[in-house]
């Protein structure tokens, strides 16, 4: 056992492993959150593995295409899924040290890829002529634009703290000392990013995650017209996006501990387990929020965005003040 744990992995292998971790764990984390949510609300809830069964079922189903839909309808889900596969190469999923491809894109690069994924899904939804899909995609684009200023200011905060905007450096800066982990600018940015994640994963103050009521839908509404394997890709992709955002939240901002410091197999496997535990912890927080708040009215969502923006701006202000005049 000790011999196996001491096997040294090559860096590309770890990089591929990051992708596979996100790919494999994402549906399970979604299932676990749905299960916790159901338990909190006094229901028995679906099995934790239910999303895997759903995906397997959808991949076997036939694909129905709306009239007038062109190739964009198919390309959208595939492009989105590809983007979600690229992002884990850029962020600290398993290792504390930057992997070779980690330098290929910074936080902005990852943000662009996530935005491209959202755009392609919205484009595919706009192809369909389905009113609810188009409603969902137009809303999703509107709110994505409104949350953008907060994301920018969080990026500025990271840039000022680390003089780079690579997520690995931000994580390292937070690990450096206790004072660095509790410095107000970092706490504010982390809190703002928490609100951004809440918005981007379609959680309760913004959107009801598992409702069937089309009028309240934002992200969920976009995929109503899809079926079969493309729909499976969309569902899998949204679970991966959720896990990617959780990884950014815990491994960069909130708790950048428990990452592998070497290339040996043992620490890497431990890092996978730690990631799973941290993702489930974040999921539990989100499940509690889901069960204890009510959804905001659509026109009140700007208040939520304003709160996230306020926290991000305060982070920059505190940093400016800390410069000493």
- Residues with Cβ within 8 Å of 166's Cβ and at least 6 positions away in sequence, in order, are 98, 102, 103, 106, 107
95 bridge partner residues: 260
Nearest to residue 229, comparing CAs of 99, 33, 76? 76
According to CB under 8 A, which one of 160, 269, 280, 284 is a site residue for another protein? 160
Residue 183 in the binding site for another protein (CB under 8 A): yes
For the record, the structure tokens of 165 come out as: 């905007």
For the record, the structure tokens of 251 come out as: 């491994």
Distances, alpha carbon 306 to alpha carbons 7, 137, 181, 264, 311, in Å: 49, 22, 25, 45, 9
# chain residues binding another protein, by CB under 8 A? 35
Stretch that binds another protein, among 5-13, 36-44, 99-107, 176-184 (CB under 8 A): 176-184
According to CB under 8 A, which one of 49, 180, 273, 288 is a site residue for another protein? 180
According to CB under 8 A, which one of 50, 162, 208, 227 is a site residue for another protein? 162
DSSP count for the chain of H helices, then E strands: 12, 0
The 67-106 site mask, x for binding another protein (CB under 8 A), equals ----------------------------------------
For the record, the structure tokens of 290 come out as: 């889901």
Contact positions with another protein (CB under 8 A) in 282-301? 300
Beta carbon of residue 74, minimum distance to another protein (angstroms, whole number)? 38
Distance from C-alpha of 172 to C-alpha of 117, rounded to nearest angstrom = 28
Beta carbon of residue 286, minimum distance to another protein (angstroms, whole number)? 22
- Residues with Cβ within 8 Å of 31's Cβ and at least 6 positions away in sequence, in order, are 46, 47, 48, 49, 50, 51, 52
Nearer to another protein, 38 or 318 (CB): 318
Contact positions with another protein (CB under 8 A) in 300-319? 300, 302-303, 305-307, 309-310, 313-314, 317-319
Nearer to another protein, 140 or 192 (CB): 192
8 bridge partner residues: 264
With H, G, I as helix, E, B as strand and everything else as coil, classify residue 60: helix
Residue 145 in the binding site for another protein (CB under 8 A): no
* Contacts to another protein by CB under 8 A: 160-164, 169, 176-180, 182-184, 187-188, 300, 302-303, 305-307, 309-310, 313-314, 317-325
């Amino acid at each position: 056992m000790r011999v196996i744990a001491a096997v040294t992995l090559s860096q590309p292998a770890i990089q591929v492993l990051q992708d596979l971790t996100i790919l494999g764990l994402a549906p399970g984390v979604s299932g676990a959150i749905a299960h916790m949510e159901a338990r909190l609300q006094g229901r028995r809830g679906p099995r934790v593995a239910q999303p895997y069964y759903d995906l397997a079922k959808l991949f076997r189903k036939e694909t129905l295409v709306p009239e007038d839909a062109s190739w964009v309808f198919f390309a959208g889900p595939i492009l989105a899924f590809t983007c979600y596969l690229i992002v884990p190469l850029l962020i600290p999923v398993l290792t504390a040290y930057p992997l070779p491809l980690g330098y290929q894109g910074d936080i902005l690069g990852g943000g662009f890829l996530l935005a491209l994924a959202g755009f392609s899904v919205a484009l595919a939804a706009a192809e369909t002529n389905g009113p609810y899909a188009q409603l969902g995609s137009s809303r999703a684009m509107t709110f994505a634009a409104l949350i953008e200023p907060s994301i920018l200011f969080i990026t500025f905060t990271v840039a000022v703290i680390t003089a780079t905007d690579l997520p690995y450096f931000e994580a390292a800066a937070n690990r450096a000392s206790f004072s660095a982990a509790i410095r107000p600018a970092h706490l504010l940015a982390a809190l703002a990013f928490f609100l951004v994640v809440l918005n981007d994963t379609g959680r309760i103050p913004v959107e009801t995650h598992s409702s069937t009521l089309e009028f309240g839908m934002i992200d969920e509404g976009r995929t109503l017209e899809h079926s079969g394997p493309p729909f499976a890709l969309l569902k899998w992709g949204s679970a991966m996006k959720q896990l990617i955002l959780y990884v950014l939240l815990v491994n960069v901002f909130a708790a950048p501990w428990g990452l592998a410091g070497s290339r040996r197999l043992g620490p890497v496997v431990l890092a996978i387990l730690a990631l799973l535990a941290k993702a489930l912890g974040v999921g539990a927080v989100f499940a509690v929020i889901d069960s204890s708040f009510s959804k905001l009215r659509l026109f009140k969502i700007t208040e939520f965005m304003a709160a996230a923006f306020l926290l991000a701006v305060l982070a920059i202000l505190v940093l400016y003040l800390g410069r000493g005049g």
